[in-house]
């Protein structure tokens, strides 16, 4: 868990596309983005922006992809609304992630290190 409050949580993706790949989701259940209440979407957008900025700053990313999938044909696998924050680097991953293999469960230390780094906004 890299973020939590009374309305939302954010966790590291179990099978990350890139180092720091994070999922932001509401505590309330909605099957997807299109079925969520507007005030929930607004709140998630604010949390996503805050975390995306934190991830970029702390991981030295050049950019981020922010996305959500709606429906199986769009690639949705977990049918609980979640927004992906996927850090990107124009020149490749930083040296600290040189052994990173996308879409593979990472070693336990990967998750522990990133939770410690990303769970603080300092």
Nearest-angstrom CA–CA distance, 59 and 75: 27
82 is catalytic: yes
Which of 29, 80, 82, 84 is catalytic? The answer is: 82
Question: Which pair of structure tokens corresponds to residue 52?
Answer: 């995306």
H or E segment and range at residue 85: strand 83-88
Mapping DSSP to helix (H, G, I), strand (E, B) and coil, where does residue 81 land? coil
Q: Are 35 and 94 within 8 A, CB to CB?
A: no
Active site residues per annotation: 82
């Amino acid at each position: 868990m890299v973020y939590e409050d009374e309305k939302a949580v954010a966790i590291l993706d179990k099978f990350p596309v890139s180092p720091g790949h994070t999922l932001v989701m509401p505590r309330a259940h909605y099957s997807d983005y299109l079925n969520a209440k507007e005030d929930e979407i607004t709140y998630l957008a604010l949390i996503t922006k805050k975390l995306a900025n934190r991830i970029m700053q702390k991981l030295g990313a050049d950019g981020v992809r922010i996305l959500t999938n709606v429906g199986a044909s769009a690639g949705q696998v977990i049918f609980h609304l979640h927004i992906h924050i996927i850090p990107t680097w124009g020149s490749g991953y930083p040296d600290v992630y040189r052994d990173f293999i996308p879409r593979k469960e990472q070693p336990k230390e990967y998750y522990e290190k990133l939770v410690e780094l990303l769970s603080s906004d300092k």
